Structure 1
Amino acid sequence: MRFGQLFYGETAECVVTGLMNICDLIGGVPHEMVFDNATGIGRRICDKVITSELFSRFRVHYRTKARFCNPASGHEKGNVENAVGFLRRNLLVPVPQGTSLKELNDAFFTGSIRFGDEIHYRHKVAIKDLFDADKQALLSLPTHPFMAVTYRNCVPDKTGVITIDNNRYLVGPSFARRKLLAEVSADLVTVLDEKHHPILSLPRRFGTHPELVYSPASLLPLLKVKPGAWAQSPIRKDIPDILKQWCQ
């Protein structure tokens, strides 16, 4: 059986979230996980792989081990490459479409499970029956949930903007120069105040984008208090031109 997950990035939060989703789907945890390389969950220094703090906590929580293949060693990861190619050819051609990443991943899982009905070329029984036997060796799932998030200390500038991984997020001018905490997951950046109370959540950006990430709903109350800020408000670009003329 082969299962996959789609994410916008290759960060530790994305990898760990994908592993958690797959473990939940199959109903157990492998004793050992083999990775093609350490992208996102660690870095390779000479012959040693140093895993990220989030992935290290995930391994302890799920009671599993991890092993990383060596670069330029195709004989170590042929099965992995075969599984990736199989999923790409059978589930990503033609390119799937959906209204959200969750919808695409649900379809990805449904398609992956469907292949279990096929007959194994050697054992002449359904693949899902062989997989059911394999699952008897899995570790049980943790009884307590695991949060696949990392925390970043951040101080907004005078305009209330914080920077996470080279992308800018607007918290609000009222939080300028305050010591805040950002809870970063695979899809959200949640900003917490000094007492760790949530301020707002914004969609996470991957890569480097010049556009400011903000919530229009959080800016409207500020404009009500300070209407003179309308000329510089980033929400202007989301307002129809006819409404802009009326507001001037």
Structure 2
Amino acid sequence: MACSAALPAEQAIVQRRIFASAGQEAFFEGHVHALNVVGGVPTSKVRYDNLRAAVAQVLGFSRQRVEAERWTAFRSHYGLQAMYCELGIRGAHEKGGVEGQIGWFRRNHLVPVPEVNSFAQLNEMTERWDRDDDARHIRSQPRPRRTAAGGRLTPLATRSGPRSAVSDTCGTMAP
């Protein structure tokens, strides 16, 4: 599973992590990694596809969802505000950005498949690719990188509110 966190309002903040599974633990660990790298939690809503790790049930053709219990606890712990993609034609454009981003990353960095000895090594390469991609110029103009100091992220060390019993260690991977 490739976990890709993109914060469009912050323009250049994109973090990726690659996992052996597409389970909920990988979903959570990808979040923890991205929040630590960018140094905070988005102050606005974060758009999610209707993936099983977060959504237990979709309620009609609206944005209302019954969230997975552990996702609700995780989201509450970090203070994330979720917004889910609409289904059908009305929401088709919402998923395209992230899917296009993952496709671009796969074509540019994972074809041909890199030869690595571990996921840790592959994720070190992924972090380097993310840094290089952040430095890319579009039409000869650098892409500004906003961080918690730019006001759109709440620093992890200062976030307030109730804490649930979710640790920064999201799970373990069995061999």
Match status 1:63 vs 2:76: no
Pairs within 5 Å for 1:231-242 = none
Please list the CA deviations of residues 71-102 of structure 1 after superposition, one character each: whole Å capped at 9, or x if unmatched. Answer: 33322223212211221111211112211111
Equivalenced residues, count: 150
Instruction: State which of 29, 37, 42 in structure 2 corresponds to 1:30.
Output: 42
Secondary structure in structure 1 of the residue aligned to 2:97: helix
Matching residue's letter, 2:57: R
Corresponding residue number in structure 2 for 1:104: 122
**Per-residue deviation, 1:113:** 1.0
Q: Percent of aligned positions with the same letter in both sequences?
A: 25
Tell me the TM-score normalized by structure 1: 0.54
Instruction: State which of 20, 26, 35 in structure 2 corresponds to 1:14.
Output: 26
**Per-residue deviation, 1:21:** 0.4
Gaps in structure 1 of 5+ consecutive residues = 150-184, 188-202, 205-248
In the alignment, the residues of structure 1 paired with residue 53 and residue 147 of structure 2 have an alpha-carbon distance, to the nearest angstrom, of 32
Does the 8 Å contact 1:38/1:51 carry over to 2? Answer: no
Computing the radius of gyration from Cα coordinates, the structure with the larger value is 1
Change (3 A) 1:186 1:71: farther
Provide the alpha-carbon RMSD of the alignment. 2.4
Matching residue's letter, 1:49: R
Change (3 A) 1:108 1:134: same
Does the 8 Å contact 2:148/2:155 carry over to 1? Answer: no
Pairs within 5 Å for 1:142-221 = 142=157, 146-149=167-170, 185-187=171-173, 203=174
Higher RCO (CA < 8 A, seq sep 6+): 2
Tell me the TM-score normalized by structure 2: 0.74
Change (3 A) 1:26 1:95: same
Does the 8 Å contact 1:36/1:68 carry over to 2? Answer: yes
